[in-house]
Amino acid sequence: MIRFDAVTKTYPGGTTAVDGLTLEAPTGQITVLVGPSGCGKTTSLRMVNRMIEPTSGTISIDGRDTASMDPATLRRGIGYVIQHGGLFPHHTIERNIATVPLLLGTDKSTAYARARELLERVGLPQSLAKRYPAQLSGGQQQRVGVARALAADPPVMLMDEPFSAVDPVVRTQLQAEFLRLQRDLGKTILFVTHDIDEAITLGDQVAVLRVGGHLAQMASPSELLAHPADDFVADFVGRDRGYRALSFVDGVLPALAEPTVAVGDSAELARERAIDGWVLVTDDERPLGWYAVGSPGDQVTAERLALGGTLARQGGTLRAALDSALSAPSGRGVVVTDEGKLAGTLTAAAVIEVIEQQRTGRDRAPAVQDDPSAEPRIQHSPGGESP
Amino acid sequence: MTWIQDHLGLIGSLAVRHAVLAGIPLLLGLVVSLPLGWLAHRYRRLAPVALAGTGLLYTIPSLALFILMPLLLGTKILNPINVVAAMTIYTIALLVRTVVDGLDSVPKDVDAAALAMGLTGLRRLLGVQLPLAIPVIAAGLRVAAVSNVSIVSVASIIGVSQLGDLLVDGYNRDIPGALWAGIIGCLALALLFDIVIQVVARLLTPWRASTKPAAAGAPA
Amino acid sequence: MITSIWAWLRDPAHWSGADGIPTRLAEHLGYTAIVMVLAAAIALPLGLYVGHSGRARWLITAANAARAVPTLGLLFALSLWLGPKLSGDLAFSAPSIIVLVLLAIPPLLAGAYAGVEAVDPAARDAAKGMGMQPAQVLRSVELPVALPLLLSGVRAALLQVIATATIAAYVGLGGLGRYLIDGLATGDYAATAGGALLVAGLALAADLLLAALTRAVVSPGLTGKYRGADGVDIPGRTDVAFER
C-alpha cells in the first residue's frame, strides 16, 4: 500500500503543485491519478520514488516512510514507466529490460533470460531481444517500457502517462493487455493520466485532482460516474458520463441458453433448433457464426455462415454487450466466457434492462472494488472478433 | 595603431584580395553543392558516398592542399587559382551535407502538396524545396564563410597575398601593429560575410521575416 | 614534377636522422597526442558538465565565436608575445602547443556538449527513476549516448591539430610541417610537395582510424543504421564544424 499523508509540494517560486494530499493506493490494485494539466498528478507520482522531494507530509510504502530510505535503493524496488518509454537507445531491448536486475547484481544470463520471458509476457516476440529501440514502433517501445519496469518483479509500480504517446487503436490494445497482465500480477500500481476514459477503463479507484494539487474526489470509477462529488468532478468526468457508465456491469450478463448446431449437421436439425429463423453454429463450444434457416443445401456448411457481429465477454462491458446484440443478424448478441466458449445470448432489450437496473440500484459498492482478479473486468475486443 | 593608420591603403587592397579569395570559392562551392546535394537527397544510396567523399577532401590540411594544387591543376605555385580551387573544395565539402540537410528539412506535407498539385522535377525543386531549404543552407554557408576567411590567410605562407601577409610580416618583422591589423581585418571580413549572407537569406525568405534567424549549425 | 617528388620520398637519406621522415612523423604525432590529451582534459569534462546541467551555455557560444579568429594570427601573436619570455626549445614549442590546445578546445567542447544535450530527457529520467546513481547515469546512459557527437568533436579537433601543427613549423615547431616550410623557403618544391603528401596522408589515416574507432565503440542503436519508427536518418557521422 502506498500512503500519502498530508503531502504538500511547494516550489521555490511559490507555486503549490500538491496541496495537503492524503490518499491510499491499496495493495494489488490500480489507483489512477487523473486531472487537468497543472493539477500536480505527475508531481505526486514522482514524489513516491523521490524523484521530487515533498515539502511537507510523508509518503509511505507498506508502512515504511520513503524519506528514511536511500533514494536509489527505493527506486530499484519500484517499477517506473514513463510517457515516451525512456528506453536507452544504445542498449538492445533485452539489455534495456535487464537494467534494474543488473543494477541489483543479478548475473547477466539470468537477467537476460528473464528479459526474454518478460518480452513474451508483454506480448512481444523474443526475436526482438537483440534489436535496438529505434527499430521498434512506438507501441512496441511502450511494451518494452512496461517489461523493463517489471523486470525486478517490484511489488509497486509507478506509471506516468505510459500510453499517451501512441495512437488510439494501439492505446486501447495496450490498455487491455495491461489489465490482463495486472490480473495475473496483482501489483500495487499508481497510474497518472489526463484522460478520464483511460482512468475509468484502468482504475480500481480513481483520484480526481484539481489545479493547485487538491484532491477533488477519490472513488471507484462507477461511483465517480454516478455520484461526482462536485461540479468540478462532474465537469471533468463529462456530460457523456451516462454513456461512460456503460463501461461497467455489476455481476454477470444475464445470458440465456442458446441451442446450437455444428458444421455438418443437417439443415433439418438446424430448422428444428432455430429461433426466429437463425441458429448459432459452434465448434467445440466456440461460436463460429449464424446459420439462416432456408439457406440452400441440405447441410450446415462453413461457407453458408453469416459472419459479423461482435462477441461480448461474460464479465465485459454493457457497451460491448449492446454492440454484440445490435450487430448480430439474429438480434441476439453472443456472450462468451473468458476462455471464448459460448455462455449464451442476450437481446438488446435485455441489455437495456440491465442498464436501467444499474441506474436505479447503484448505491452499493461495485463488485470490482475488492478483488480485481476474482471479478471479471472490462475486456476490449480490438477490431471486433467475429464469430 | 599608428602603423594601421599609416597603411590603410595597403590594408584595404589586401582586404579586397582576401574577400575575393574567400568569396569566389563560396559562390563556386554553392553552385556545385546544390546539384550534388540534391542528387544525394533524391537518391538516398548516393548520400553516404557523396558525404564520405567530400568529407575525406575536407580532412586534407590547408597548407598541404595549397601546395598540392599545382600538381593537380598544372599551375605555378604562386598562382591564386590554387587557393581558389582549394577553398572551393573545402566549401563543397561543407555545403553538400548542408544542402542535403536543408532539403531534408522541407516539411514532408508541403512537398507532398506540391507534388499533388502537379509540380514536378525542376519546378518543384526551384519553386518549393529550395526556397524552404534556404534557412538551413544559409546557416551552412555562414559556417563555410567564417572558415574560409580564416583559412585563406594561410595562403600567405605560399606567397599568395591577402590579409595574411600582415600576419606574416607582423611576425617576421616584429610589427605588432601589422599583426593586429591582420587579425582584426580577418575578423571584420568574417563578420561582413556573415552579415551579407544573413541579409540575403532574409531577403530571399520574406515569409520568415518575423521569426528568429536560423540557428542550426550557425556560428554564434 | 611528380617523379621528383617520388624520388624525394624514396630517397633513403630522407628516412633517417634528425630531419628524417620517421623522426618528423614521430614529432608530429607526439605534438598531436600531447595537445589532444591536454585539450580533452579541459574541454570534455567542461562540455559534459554544460550539457548535463544546462548551465554556462555561454561557454559554448563563446568558444564557437572564438573560431572566427584566424589560426595563423593566433599562432603568430602568441609566439611573438610568449617566445621571448621562454628559453631554448620551449620558446618555439610552448606557444605552438598552447595555440593548438586553444584551437582543439572549441570542437571538443561543442561535441561533448551537443552529445550530452542530445540525450533524450525521458531516458535520463528513466535511468534515475530506476535507481541509478548520478555517476551511473553519466557512465552508462549519458556518455554512451553522447559518444557519436563527442567523437565527431574529437575528429574535428584531431584534424585541426594535425593541420595547424603543420603551419606551426613556420614559428619553429618540428614535425612534418618542417618539409613544407623549409622547402618553400629554399624553393625545393619536391620536398615541399612530398611533405604535403605525407601530411595529407597522416590526416586521412587519422580520420579513417577515428572512423573505425567510432564504429567500434558506438552502439549500433545510435548510428542511424537502423531506421526509426518515423524519420529516416542519413547513415554516417554528424559533424562538428572545424577549420583546416
Grid cell listed for B109: 506535407
pLDDT of residue B210: 53
Return the closest-CA partner of residue B164 out of B21, B60, B67: B21
Does the structural domain B2-208 have CATH classification 1.10.3720.10?
yes
Of B52, B60, B147, the CB nearest to C243: B147
Edge-to-edge strands, sheet with A2-10 = A16-25, A2-10, A56-61, A64-65
The string of pLDDT tens digits covering residues A26-45 is 999 999 999 888 888 999 99
Return the closest-CA partner of residue A147 out of A168, A173, A177, A169: A177
Contact A307, A387 (CB under 8 A): yes
- Report the SS3 class of residue C214: helix
C64 chain-B contacts, CB cut-off 8 A: 219-220
pLDDT of residue A346: 86
- Cα–Cα distance measured from residue A64 to residue A77, given in angstroms and rounded to the nearest whole number: 13
Angle subtended at Cα C112 by Cα C110 and Cα C113, rounded to the nearest 5 degrees: 60
More reliable by pLDDT, A158 or A263: A158
A91 chain-C contacts, CB cut-off 8 A: 219, 221
Q: What topology does CATH give the domain A260-369?
A: CBS-domain (3.10.580)
What interhelical angle do B164-172 and C71-82 show, nearest 10?
10
Query: Identity (one letter) of the amino acid at A358?
Result: Q
CATH code of residue C205: 1.10.3720.10
pLDDT of residue A241: 64
pLDDT of residue A308: 62
C234 chain-B contacts, CB cut-off 8 A: 44, 47-48, 51, 100, 104
- Report the SS3 class of residue A276: coil
Local confidence band at B159 (pLDDT 50, 70, 90 cut-offs): confident
- Cα–Cα distance measured from residue A316 to residue A380, given in angstroms and rounded to the nearest whole number: 8
Confirm whether C194 is domain-assigned: yes
The string of pLDDT tens digits covering residues B99-113 is 988 888 888 888 888
pLDDT(A366) > 60: no
A71 chain-C contacts, CB cut-off 8 A: 131
The string of pLDDT tens digits covering residues A311-364 is 887 777 777 788 888 888 888 888 888 778 888 888 888 887 777 776 665 444
Q: What's the DSSP call for residue A279?
A: E
More reliable by pLDDT, B181 or B209: B181
pLDDT(A374) > 60: no
Mean per-residue pLDDT over chain A, rounded: 84
Grid cell listed for C85: 619570455
Grid cell listed for A188: 500495487
Contact C149, C189 (CB under 8 A): no
Pairing, β A260-261 against β A64-65: unpaired
Taking CB atoms and an 8 Å limit, are A51 and C125 in contact across chains?
Answer: yes
- Cα–Cα distance measured from residue C60 to residue C56, given in angstroms and rounded to the nearest whole number: 8
pLDDT of residue A363: 43
C226 chain-A contacts, CB cut-off 8 A: 132, 134-135
The string of pLDDT tens digits covering residues C115-156 is 998 898 899 999 999 999 988 998 899 999 999 999 999 998
Return the closest-CA partner of residue A98 out of A148, A57, A133: A148
Alpha-carbon distance A76 to nearest alpha carbon in chain C (angstroms): 5
Return the closest-CA partner of residue C165 out of C178, C151, C150: C178
Of B56, B151, B183, the CB nearest to C77: B183
Taking CB atoms and an 8 Å limit, are B171 and C79 in contact across chains?
Answer: yes
Angle subtended at Cα C88 by Cα C84 and Cα C89, rounded to the nearest 5 degrees: 105
pLDDT of residue C244: 54
Give yes or no for C184 touching B (CB within 8 A): yes
Taking CB atoms and an 8 Å limit, are C171 and B171 in contact across chains?
Answer: yes
* Domain ranges across chain A: 2-239, 260-369
The string of pLDDT tens digits covering residues B54-106 is 888 888 899 999 988 888 888 888 888 999 999 999 999 889 988 988 888 88
- Report the SS3 class of residue C140: helix
pLDDT of residue A255: 79
Give yes or no for C235 touching B (CB within 8 A): yes
Pairing, β A78-81 against β A156-160: parallel
Taking CB atoms and an 8 Å limit, are C221 and A73 in contact across chains?
Answer: no
Taking CB atoms and an 8 Å limit, are C163 and B219 in contact across chains?
Answer: no
Give one DSSP letter per residue of A216-248, joined into a string. Answer: EEEE-HHHHHHS-SSHHHHHHH-TTHHHHGGG-
State which residue of chain C sits closest to B156, comparing Cα positions. Answer: C72
Alpha-carbon distance B38 to nearest alpha carbon in chain C (angstroms): 14
Q: How many domains does chain C have?
A: 1
pLDDT(B10) > 50: yes
Contact C244, C163 (CB under 8 A): yes
Taking CB atoms and an 8 Å limit, are C80 and B90 in contact across chains?
Answer: no
Angle subtended at Cα A43 by Cα A38 and Cα A48, rounded to the nearest 5 degrees: 155
End-to-end CA distance of chain A: 42
- Cβ-Cβ contacts under 8 Å for B213 (sequence gap 6 or more): B135, B198, B201, B202
Taking CB atoms and an 8 Å limit, are A82 and C129 in contact across chains?
Answer: yes
Give the number of other CB atoms < 10 A from CB of residue A12. Answer: 5
Contact C100, C43 (CB under 8 A): no
Give the number of other CB atoms < 10 A from CB of residue A314. Answer: 19
Return the closest-CA partner of residue A325 out of A270, A250, A245, A258: A258
Alpha-carbon distance C105 to nearest alpha carbon in chain B (angstroms): 15
pLDDT of residue A380: 39
What interhelical angle do C89-117 and C143-167 show, nearest 10?
150
pLDDT(A385) > 50: no
Taking CB atoms and an 8 Å limit, are B143 and C241 in contact across chains?
Answer: yes
- Cβ-Cβ contacts under 8 Å for A133 (sequence gap 6 or more): A85, A87, A88, A89, A91, A93, A96, A141, A144, C221
Give the number of other CB atoms < 10 A from CB of residue A193. Answer: 24
Q: Which of the other chains make 3 or more beta carbon contacts under 8 angstroms with chain B?
A: C
Q: Which of the other chains make 3 or more beta carbon contacts under 8 angstroms with chain C?
A: A, B
Mean pLDDT, range B106-132, rounded to an integer: 82
Pairing, β A30-34 against β A188-193: parallel
Burial label for A372, CB within 10 Å (0-12, 13-18, 19+), is: middle
- Cα–Cα distance measured from residue C24 to residue C30, given in angstroms and rounded to the nearest whole number: 10
- Cα–Cα distance measured from residue A111 to residue A133, given in angstroms and rounded to the nearest whole number: 18
- Report the SS3 class of residue B88: helix
Q: Which domain holds residue C65?
A: 2-217
Mean pLDDT, range A241-253, rounded to an integer: 65
Alpha-carbon distance A329 to nearest alpha carbon in chain C (angstroms): 41
Return the closest-CA partner of residue A241 out of A203, A197, A279: A197
CATH of domain A2-239: 3.40.50.300
Of A75, A76, A91, the CB nearest to C221: A91
Confirm whether C193 is domain-assigned: yes
ipTM of the complex: 0.84
Taking CB atoms and an 8 Å limit, are B182 and C70 in contact across chains?
Answer: yes
pLDDT of residue A307: 67
Q: What's the DSSP call for residue A291?
A: E
Give yes or no for C41 touching B (CB within 8 A): no
Confirm whether C67 is domain-assigned: yes
Helix (H) or strand (E) holding B184: helix B176-204
Give one DSSP letter per residue of A65-110, joined into a string. Answer: EGGGS-HHHHHHTEEEE-TTTT--TTS-HHHHHTHHHHHTT--HHH
The string of pLDDT tens digits covering residues A176-215 is 889 989 998 999 999 999 888 899 889 999 999 988 888 9
Local confidence band at A240 (pLDDT 50, 70, 90 cut-offs): low
The string of pLDDT tens digits covering residues A132-164 is 998 998 889 999 999 999 998 999 999 999 988
Q: What's the DSSP call for residue A306?
A: B
Mean per-residue pLDDT over chain B, rounded: 86
- Report the SS3 class of residue C158: helix
Q: What percent of chain B has a predicted confidence (pLDDT) above 90? A: 38
pLDDT of residue A242: 65
Alpha-carbon distance C17 to nearest alpha carbon in chain B (angstroms): 23
C81 DSSP β-pair partners: none
Pairing, β A332-336 against β A311-313: parallel
Alpha-carbon distance C203 to nearest alpha carbon in chain A (angstroms): 29
State which residue of chain C sits closest to B70, comparing Cα positions. Answer: C193
Taking CB atoms and an 8 Å limit, are A136 and C127 in contact across chains?
Answer: no
Confirm whether C226 is domain-assigned: no
Of B151, B158, B217, the CB nearest to C241: B217
Taking CB atoms and an 8 Å limit, are B44 and C232 in contact across chains?
Answer: yes
Grid cell listed for A4: 500519502
pLDDT of residue C95: 86
pLDDT(A256) > 60: yes
Distances from the Cα of A21 to the Cα of A8, A56, A58, A63, B33, angstroms: 7, 10, 10, 17, 62
Taking CB atoms and an 8 Å limit, are A85 and C122 in contact across chains?
Answer: yes
Burial A148-184 (b: 16+ CB within 10 A, else e): bbbbbebbbbbbbbbbbbbeeebbbbbbbbbbebbee
Distances from the Cα of C74 to the Cα of A205, B19, C41, C207, C244, angstroms: 69, 20, 22, 25, 14
Residues 215-244 of chain C with CB under 8 A from chain A are 218-222, 224, 226-229
C118 chain-B contacts, CB cut-off 8 A: none
Where on the phi/psi map is residue C131: left (φ > 0), alpha (ψ -120 to 50), or beta? left
- Cα–Cα distance measured from residue C128 to residue A82, given in angstroms and rounded to the nearest whole number: 12
Contact A310, A384 (CB under 8 A): yes
pLDDT of residue A377: 37
Give yes or no for C239 touching B (CB within 8 A): yes
pLDDT(A387) > 50: no
Give yes or no for C130 touching A (CB within 8 A): yes
What are the residue ranges in chain C where pLDDT is below 50? 226-239
Q: Which residue, among A49, A76, A82, A88, would best test binding to C if mutated, counting the most C CBs under 10 Å from its CB?
A: A88
